[in-house]
Structure 1
């Protein structure tokens, strides 16, 4: 049951920009704010051991602030906070190894060679750059773009870029492994 709840919350978070766009265009600010807070609480209870747990607090905070201040900006700011939170977590693992990507890699390859450790460290740095750029673009859309552009970037383009980075890294990693 816990895996089903995790899957459901992940799908809701992926669809988040579309849900916000629809909710706000239909005057459902408080409903969306409460939904985001509930989603954060559910993720907290189902993911206590996740290294990404701090990002859960951002959902609760963004939902709470939009509810208290009756301001949609806090809901729109959530993707910015997610990118900055991810950036912080990934950066921290560069100072306190293993790097985030090494942690992910060791799930599939527990005996990662030293060349793999170095590779995953570099990839973690690339992800840090991605999260920084993504946060800046998402922040721009919060304040200077119409809702349609905010939804398009945060609900489609950023995911497309993230997917491209994942696939590109996977292909390069396989090439790197064959080379070594």
Structure 2
């Protein structure tokens, strides 16, 4: 059952911008706030050892502040907080290696060559840049755009950009590996 619950909470968090957009356009501020708090609490109890634990705390705090202050901005700031948290985690691994991308790479390639370590460090820097830019754009959508634009960017465009970056990195990594194998 915990695996099922983890999947449900993950789906809710991925669909979060759409849920917030729909809820707020229908006057359901406290309902979506409570949902975010519940998802955060469930994630806390099902993933205490997860490196994503800071994001779990952010969900609880964002939902709680929205509920207490009756302000939708706290719900809309959650994607900003997620980007800043991811930036912090990736940046921290640049200061205290191995880099985040090297950690991921070693799952599939435990004996990563020195060239691979250098490559993953650069890719981690690119991801840091992405998360910073994403946080800035997401913040802009909270305060200066309509709910529709906020949902479009935070629920679709940012995910597409992550997918493009991930795919591009995968293609370039394979190319890099071929160059260094010759």
Aligned pair 1:75/2:79, yes or no? no
Residue of structure 2 in register with 1:86 after alignment = 86
State the SS of the aligned residue for 2:77: helix
Count of residue correspondences: 180
What's the Cα RMSD here?
0.9
Over residues 133-170 of structure 1, what are the superposed CA-to-partner deviations in whole Å (9 max), with x where a residue is unaligned?
00000000000000000000000000000000000000
State the SS of the aligned residue for 1:50: coil
Paired with 1:123 and 1:39, the residues of 2 have a C-alpha distance of 31
Residue of structure 2 in register with 1:32 after alignment = 32
* Runs of 4+ displaced beyond 4 Å: none
Residue of structure 1 in register with 2:9 after alignment = 9
Paired with 1:85 and 1:158, the residues of 2 have a C-alpha distance of 15
Residue of structure 2 in register with 1:119 after alignment = 119
The answer to whether the 8 A contact 1:79-1:154 is kept is yes
The two structures have a TM-score, normalised by structure 1, of 0.97
Residue of structure 1 in register with 2:161 after alignment = 161
Residue of structure 2 in register with 1:171 after alignment = 171
Q: Provide structure 2 residue ranges, at least 5 long, that are not aligned to the other structure.
A: none
Paired with 1:50 and 1:106, the residues of 2 have a C-alpha distance of 18
- Deviation of 1:179 after TM superposition, in Å, equals 0.7
